[in-house]
Structure 1
């Protein structure tokens, strides 16, 4: 996985540079990506700090079987006890109440008026709408962001996001339902207890943030055409258009230069002077070549005539000697 990710990024960058198909993001796309980033930041800040449920058993360094008086005394030393705390502490009098506190958290035990310790399923019924609302809000955020995409891609992505969130929602409910909440009864150390309510809240937050950032990345990729695969014919057409544009730009540059030469007298004089010198040089070169050829041919003829005369004289002398 770690080896494939750099390769994927490398291939994206190569295609982006080679095909030159990156286009600027529209305002709606920037708003959608910013909305997803801000919502993720909101969930991280508020869910992990402001709205993250306080665990008074861990905060007071108590255990599941710590006496009620000791728990109240330790909490009083840390902060002032509110009316909500008294309702919660009333539910934490019994061992079953504390075990359900591990499973469902403080808000369910402290706020649910009709829930009963003797019927633990009532706490599950109270929890379901709150968990569902959390997933529903995030689904709405993602759906609003996806609206900037095309209808076909938007529908496909909406279905995928809905399935993912729905599966995790069902999975969370199944875990709350099948978890053996009495398994923590004989654990003395609070750090060894499986605080499932807080763990599920962290996992849910991680899923939401990861999903939002993934959707933001998908929107960015689609709108910049980085992964767009071009058929060969279209690729050749794009290259031809690019070459044609380059040729047109060159012709325009030449026309501008020519117009500048015609209008500017100094440049016109320099141009005429240049061509005159060039022509004179060509003429002189051609005249020199002809003179050289003539000279060479004249010298050769002289040598040939001299050789013929010498040969004739030698031949006459030879014939005279024979006589």
Structure 2
């Protein structure tokens, strides 16, 4: 293999590797410090007074389960088993293969049992004039927009190829509208509470941006891009590639949203202090619980005092407790430990500290 043959064969791979290295060298110094700062902020999130790490609330747990399920479904849909069949790849045929030869290969592969959609597509190819060493327009549209668009469009014609694009766009946007609706539902206050609602705008922007990107890529894609590609491995299967990228992007957005919701709901990142209303409600609830406990203790105390037998048992218990405490304090080990602790105390420092506290308390009097 000479130099020119080597470059012809490996030029695309070398170009991709060179682009990747250039991107890493350009963006690495900018991304690395921010990634480390983000990691440190998560690690130190539990050190603030209002940022105690906690388990995610039940609402957020349900939303995380839903997001995980959606992401898993999207990843499963990228598998070839769930993809739309591609008769050219299934038969190993190039786009410019004569229709009769493609038909014979497909019959051999399916053992003569063709699906109605495959039979209809072969009929469309048969009706179109054969081009010299070039793919037919239906084959090019098949690679660009998929078999469903080519076979089911009621108003499309080969004389107006843009009509296939107009028929394909609503179906593409339908997936994105469904995804945006799911993101909006999961980040609503009714379903996920305030922990999910804080990400509602970001999730909506991400979903809309993804829809705009695919709309732009599809609208600007040239359906004749494969006209000069003779080999099967050189064909750009735009419909199948975009379908895979769409599902991967859905899974990535759902995964990142779930991760962010988990970080913020557990007070590991972007901790927000409680509002005045929440603090007042929490203090009121604490006082109400304390008041209820005091009432219970008071009722129990009154019942004990009014009953002679219970009052006698109470007095007996406290006398025994006082005697046990005196016995413990009179042990030699306890006395020695207490003396050692007192000898290690800085009396002057304690006196200064308590004086400062008293001065602060009585400064306003």
TM-score by length of 2: 0.60
Separation in 2, partners of 1:177, 1:121: 9
Alignment length (residue pairs): 249
Separation in 1, partners of 2:242, 2:158: 21
Does 2:127 match 1:96?
no
Separation in 2, partners of 1:272, 1:29: 52
2:194 to 150, 158, 162: 150
Q: Is the 1:23–1:225 Cα contact (8 Å) retained in structure 2?
A: yes
The residue aligned with 1:42 is 73
- Which whole-Å deviations, capped at 9, do the CAs of 1:204-261 have from their partners, x for residues lacking one? 1121111111111121122112224578xxxxxxxxxxxxxxxxxxxxxxxxxxx989
The residue aligned with 1:5 is 35
The residue aligned with 2:146 is 105
Structure 2 unmatched runs, 5+ = 1-30, 129-135, 274-315, 336-365
1:109-258 matches, within 5 Å, as 109-147=150-188, 148-150=192-194, 154=197, 157-228=199-270
Give the 3-state SS of the residue equivalent to 1:30 in structure 2: helix
- Rg: which structure is higher? 1
Separation in 2, partners of 1:221, 1:208: 20
**Structure 1 or 2: more helix by fraction:** 1
Give the 3-state SS of the residue equivalent to 2:156 in structure 1: coil
Separation in 1, partners of 2:123, 2:257: 44
- Which whole-Å deviations, capped at 9, do the CAs of 1:267-287 have from their partners, x for residues lacking one? 357347548x97xxxxxxxxx
Q: Is the 1:146–1:219 Cα contact (8 Å) retained in structure 2?
A: no
Separation in 2, partners of 1:229, 1:29: 16
Separation in 2, partners of 1:103, 1:66: 17
**1:264 positional shift:** 4.9
**1:25 positional shift:** 1.6
Q: Aligned Cα RMSD in Å?
A: 3.1
- Which whole-Å deviations, capped at 9, do the CAs of 1:25-54 have from their partners, x for residues lacking one? 221111101101101111111343443122
Q: Is the 2:199–2:261 Cα contact (8 Å) retained in structure 1?
A: no
Q: Is the 1:36–1:212 Cα contact (8 Å) retained in structure 2?
A: yes
1:76 to 107, 131, 145: 107
